[in-house]
Structure 1
Amino acid sequence: MAGTGRYIGLMSGTSLDGVDGVAAEFSGDTPRILAHADLPLPADLRAELLALNTPGHDEIGRMSRAAQALADLYAEVVGRLLSHTGLTAADFRAIGAHGQTVRHRPDLGYTVQLNAPARLAERTGIAVVADLRSRDIAAGGQGAPLVPAFHAAVFGTDRPQAVVNLGGIANITLLSPSGVIGYDTGPANLLLDLWCHRHTGRSYDEDGRYAASGQVQDALLSELIASEPWLAEPPPKSTGRDLFNAPWLDRRLADWETRHGPVGAADVQATLLALTAETVAREIRRQMPDCQAAWICGGGARNPVLMSALGAALPCPVAPTDQAGIPAQQMEALAFAWLAHRHVQGEAGNLPAVTGAAGPRILGAYYPGQVR
């Protein structure tokens, strides 16, 4: 069933840097971006969302309050999108709101994205489609990644090409005439941001300058890869802060330094950047040796050092998705607008071959907007 209409997509990712919003108009599955808006996460909300990734005191109350604060920030982004477009709430069919992942354990049958969709619908007057991962997990899938279905819709499958999202976690979509493959490959900005903040006080490594000041430690890189069994698991698979986090990194560095001596902080940053590039590139080389292009989106697309490392590791051209018509920073928010569109049209939003679900499923729960 093809359909038209205007939708909004909202995304706050694993990097915890902010909220991206996109207003788009769909004709069938083809989107036309009308506006983009983004807001940083306030420092106190970012700290609380990060803390909620691990067990702590008064979790239920804290999660509820954080979800409300996040929904209020989402509503502010929606307000900016309406202002940018000159449109009103009545001009939009729905908002696709991902929420903030604080637990992701598909192996145990659950995933948790903090959100307050009823509050968001009340604040904006627009219907909200939320909780987009749970139905896929209920059907035996990973609940992630969900964006490969969108990538297939907008990039097509007429030639072998890859779409790489470098958010907190890296994931790949491999598109070809033989089908679509997609899964998480490992850490991306999550560990880079963590280490940069710890040693420089900056929230992220702007332009990769801190990593560029160090030297990749090849032996340490090999050990980081070899020491994590998840990296060798076949797809379908997905991951998050439940696995790749400060304790994960600190244990490995402590073990390495016990046996080999200390490693300079900048060298660790350079090695973590190489870890992202190599775990992405080796999966593309393994799954699609004839890849003709790798399109990069997410925050990592703005890191020239990481882009250069990917270019050196892959035998095909590497470029941001901007050059394919979709700005790298808007890709994921646009994907969740598309997922809301699919929900309203009564069409499946997942790809069972990607997530491992038992079959196609309509994703999300619907929260009506204002009665008109």
Structure 2
Amino acid sequence: MSLKMYTAVGLMSGTSADGVDAALLRTDGETRIKVIGGLTEPYDDDTRDRLLEASQHDVPLSDLLRLEQHITDIHAQTVNKLVEQHQKDVGRVEAIGFHGHTVRHIPDEGLTFQIGNPWRLADATGAAVVSDFRRNDIALGGQGAPLAAMFHRALFASEPLPVAVLNLGGVANVTWLGEGDALIAGDTGPGCGLLDEWAQEMAGLSHDEDGRLALAGEVREEQVREALSAPFFARPLPKAADRFDFDHVDVSSLSVEDGAATLCAVTVRAVADAVKRLPQKPKTLWVTGGGVKHPVIMSMLANHFDEVHRVEDRQLSSETLEAECFAWLAVRRLRELPITVPETTGCRRPACGGTITC
């Protein structure tokens, strides 16, 4: 007997603070997933600056609350815009998976904090909101991240195994799928966060568009070795990190171009080193997140893996896949199904995550 299909929206505001990614889908919270649509609503410069400030520094509490209210309203506008675009395709939205914006993630201390007001979002959209996905996992001894592993398994389990899915956001994380439902996941190191910051500070660019900086540079091995000597990189999966855990990576002595190329190498070699410790090398590496657009990162990955594909080759969207994940996770919360397991975050037992706000 088929399980009920729910209509859900997922929302993601990544550590790069570029904007809100939203996805609308129908799913049973297991393997049946039909994506209806998605969009990205960019933050303006002031909002982005305020989010980055709150993520890196201890801002006054009143300022943080005002920022939370502001980005909640942006999320609500994004939901309503997306639903309106697909009104003919959907009925009532039954759940919104609201990740919020992470301003602190310190798993070694059992701390994680995402801003976003679920009550305000529920009132503005008329839908039940599932939020606060990470803290139950942390309460059960987990790292609170990554949360996409079980969603990746739902999407890619039919691929020839073993297979791996790499998400290149501000932080890079990988999901490994093996025979017999084997599943291992974790953060591998920096994704595009350090590279974005380097492009902003040194070249006045929002990011290294089309890899122009890195393509013109050379990798400096000494800086790569120094970056990867930090204890984090020696730990096996599962493990989790915050974007700002990698501020020790220092390319300040290099040219803009060499620094960009070297940061790409740090990201890719951290991925390759983490995957080498897994039970088997994956037959294929599927890549999602902003990093799929960077030609140097993708070329470097091809030097370490037999087959590397963007998720677009599977008719998926690297721009909204994470938002789709949170719609799926919201439905799992409605069905009281786990969203993390010990092999993905280190939690003591499979953990149901998220708080429902009506």
TM-score, L = length of structure 1: 0.91
Bigger mean CA deviation after superposition, 183-192 or 215-224? 215-224
Matches within 5 A, 1:259-278: 262-278=253-269
Which residue in 2 is equivalent to 1:99?
A: 100
Which one-letter code corresponds to 1:33 in the other structure? V
**Which of the residues 213, 216, 220 maps onto 2:219?**
216
Which residue in 2 is equivalent to 1:291?
A: 282
Tell whether the 8 Å contact from 1:215 to 1:271 is kept in structure 2 after alignment. Answer: yes
Alignment CA distance shift 1:197-1:310 (3 Å): same
Tell whether the 8 Å contact from 1:3 to 1:28 is kept in structure 2 after alignment. Answer: no
Which one-letter code corresponds to 2:257 in the other structure? A
Q: How much has 1:57 moved relative to structure 2?
A: 4.3
Deviations 1:186-210 (A, max 9, x none): 0011100000011111111111111
Which one-letter code corresponds to 2:193 in the other structure? L
Which residue in 2 is equivalent to 1:345?
A: 335
Q: How much has 1:88 moved relative to structure 2?
A: 9.3
Which one-letter code corresponds to 1:50 in the other structure? L
Which residue in 2 is equivalent to 1:317?
A: 307
Q: How much has 1:219 moved relative to structure 2?
A: 2.1
Tell whether the 8 Å contact from 2:29 to 2:332 is kept in structure 1 after alignment. Answer: no
User: Aligned partners of 1:44, 1:301: CA distance in 2, in Å?
Assistant: 27
Q: How much has 1:243 moved relative to structure 2?
A: 1.2
Structure 1 spans left out of the alignment, 5+ residues: 255-261
**Which of the residues 150, 169, 182 maps onto 2:185?**
182
1:83 maps to 2:72: no
User: Aligned partners of 2:273, 2:130: CA distance in 1, in Å?
Assistant: 35
Q: How much has 1:352 moved relative to structure 2?
A: 2.0
Which residue in 1 is equivalent to 2:239?
A: 237
Q: How much has 1:27 moved relative to structure 2?
A: 3.9
Q: How much has 1:146 moved relative to structure 2?
A: 0.8
User: Aligned partners of 1:341, 1:281: CA distance in 2, in Å?
Assistant: 33
Which residue in 2 is equivalent to 1:334?
A: 324
User: Aligned partners of 1:90, 1:102: CA distance in 2, in Å?
Assistant: 34
Q: How much has 1:253 moved relative to structure 2?
A: 4.3
Deviations 1:215-235 (A, max 9, x none): 111222112112x11111222
Tell whether the 8 Å contact from 2:237 to 2:274 is kept in structure 1 after alignment. Answer: no
User: Aligned partners of 2:201, 2:226: CA distance in 1, in Å?
Assistant: 22
Deviations 1:245-273 (A, max 9, x none): 3xx23xx446xxxxxxx422210111001
User: Aligned partners of 2:202, 2:7: CA distance in 1, in Å?
Assistant: 44
Which residue in 1 is equivalent to 2:348?
A: 358
Which one-letter code corresponds to 2:264 in the other structure? L
Which residue in 2 is equivalent to 1:197?
A: 200
Which one-letter code corresponds to 1:281 in the other structure? A
Helix, strand or coil for the counterpart of 1:204? coil
User: Aligned partners of 2:196, 2:29: CA distance in 1, in Å?
Assistant: 38
User: Aligned partners of 1:186, 1:10: CA distance in 2, in Å?
Assistant: 23
Helix, strand or coil for the counterpart of 1:8? strand
Helix, strand or coil for the counterpart of 1:191? helix
Q: How much has 1:286 moved relative to structure 2?
A: 2.9
Which one-letter code corresponds to 2:203 in the other structure? T
Q: How much has 1:180 moved relative to structure 2?
A: 0.4
Structure 2 spans left out of the alignment, 5+ residues: none
Which one-letter code corresponds to 1:263 in the other structure? L
Q: How much has 1:56 moved relative to structure 2?
A: 3.2
Tell whether the 8 Å contact from 2:55 to 2:103 is kept in structure 1 after alignment. Answer: yes
Which residue in 2 is equivalent to 1:169?
A: 171
Instruction: Give RMSD over aligned pairs.
Output: 1.7
Alignment CA distance shift 1:141-1:357 (3 Å): same
Which residue in 2 is equivalent to 1:206?
A: 209
Helix, strand or coil for the counterpart of 1:22? strand
**Matched residue pairs, number?**
354
1:11 maps to 2:12: yes
TM-score, L = length of structure 2: 0.94
User: Aligned partners of 1:155, 1:273: CA distance in 2, in Å?
Assistant: 26
Helix, strand or coil for the counterpart of 1:306? helix
Alignment CA distance shift 1:201-1:92 (3 Å): same
Which one-letter code corresponds to 2:218 in the other structure? Q
Which one-letter code corresponds to 2:117 in the other structure? A
User: Aligned partners of 1:347, 1:20: CA distance in 2, in Å?
Assistant: 24
Bigger mean CA deviation after superposition, 346-355 or 162-171? 346-355
Which one-letter code corresponds to 2:97 in the other structure? G
Alignment CA distance shift 1:22-1:313 (3 Å): same
Task: Calculate percent identity across the aligned residue pairs.
Answer: 37
Q: How much has 1:325 moved relative to structure 2?
A: 2.9
Bigger mean CA deviation after superposition, 229-238 or 158-167? 229-238
User: Aligned partners of 2:28, 2:57: CA distance in 1, in Å?
Assistant: 44
Which residue in 2 is equivalent to 1:33?
A: 35
Q: How much has 1:131 moved relative to structure 2?
A: 0.3
Matches within 5 A, 1:37-48: 37-48=39-50
Which residue in 2 is equivalent to 1:257?
A: none
Which residue in 1 is equivalent to 2:228?
A: 225
